[in-house]
């Protein structure tokens, strides 16, 4: 799912016109995108 970019991140849900808060659930500091979750998020970086 990650390779195909099919995870339901906030930025993808927003593309379906679903009105939501797009902030990252973990760090509340950036828009939740696939590359943010796996590579940029400060919380994920601590976990990895
Ligand atoms: Zn984050």
CA 7/CA 23 separation, integer angstroms:
16
pLDDT in tens, 1-48: 888 888 878 777 777 776 677 788 899 988 888 889 888 999 999 998
Predicted pLDDT of residue 18: 66
3-state secondary structure (DSSP) of residue 33: coil
Residue 44 exposure: Cα atoms within 13 Å on the Cβ side: 16
What whole-number distance in Å separates Cα of residue 31 and Cα of residue 24? 5
The three-state secondary structure class of 4 is coil
Ligand 1: centre distance to CA 31 (Å):
8
Distance 15 CA to ligand 1 centre (A): 19
What's residue 13's pLDDT?
77
Q: Residue 46: what pLDDT?
A: 92
- Burial degree of 9 (CB within 10 A; 0-12, 13-18, 19+): buried
Task: Give distance in angstroms: CA of 39 to centre of ligand 1.
Answer: 9
Task: Specify the pLDDT at position 34.
Answer: 86
How many Å lie between the centroid of ligand 1 and the Cα of residue 12? 15
**Hey, where are the domains in the chain?**
10-47
């Amino acid at each position: 799912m990650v390779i195909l970019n099919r995870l339901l991140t906030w930025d993808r849900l927003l593309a379906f016109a679903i009105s939501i808060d797009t902030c990252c659930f973990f760090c509340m500091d950036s828009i939740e995108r696939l590359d943010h979750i796996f590579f940029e998020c400060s919380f994920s970086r601590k976990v990895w």
